[in-house]
Structure 1
Amino acid sequence: METTYRDAIAELETILRALETDTVDVDELTARVQRSATLIRLCKQKLRTAEDAIDRVFENLDQDEELPEPEAPAPTPPAKRAPKTPRDISGGLLF
């Protein structure tokens, strides 16, 4: 059975606790350090694989959802002014 990321982390934590409490004798130390290195490589590989898979998902989303560029809003026509009331030269109303 393949070691999962979670199992690898749990085993690394167990090894670390054993090393911190000095319960590992010198004969076991080398084996534990080698196993730790193997587990760390496994975790790194699983993280890279997950990252690549996530990147592919987002790339596919970008390709699938190629939306047209939003069009610039049409310019607003200038406001219409009320027609001027005819006035005579002096500025008074003609009617």
Structure 2
Amino acid sequence: MTNDKTYRQTIEELETILRALETDTVDVDDLTARVQRSAELIRLCKQKLRNAEAAIDRVFDTLDEEDETEPTDDNDLA
């Protein structure tokens, strides 16, 4: 499974597979391959979402740390 696709590209491929499954008569071998590919794409999406969540958490943690170290004296704001 490659990780070079963007989240949007991955979702678009999943949607393409879903449309094909909804409209086409798919033989069992092809169905199996499409379901396996869908599972790979779903795993990739979940990984990308977890990575994004972790990155966002780090940003907020950094902001919280900056708030804790900033002076609280109102005279410093003037």
TM-score range, shorter chain: 0.7 to 0.9
Aligned structure 1 segments of 4 or more residues deviating by more than 6 angstroms: none
Structure 2's unaligned 5+ residue stretches are none
> How many Å separate the matches in 2 of 1:28 and 1:54?
39
Match of 1:27 in 2: 29
- Structure scoring higher RCO (CA < 8 A, sep ≥ 6) equals 2
Q: Deviations over 1:37-91 (max 9, x none)?
A: 0000000000000000000000000101225399xxxxxxxxxxxxxxxxxxxxx
Match of 2:60 in 1: 58
Match of 2:38 in 1: 36
Q: Closer, same or farther in 2 for the Cα pair 1:25/1:61, shift >3 Å?
A: same
Higher helix share: 2
The share of aligned pairs that are identical, in percent, is 73
DSSP-derived class of the 1:34 partner: helix
Match of 1:84 in 2: none
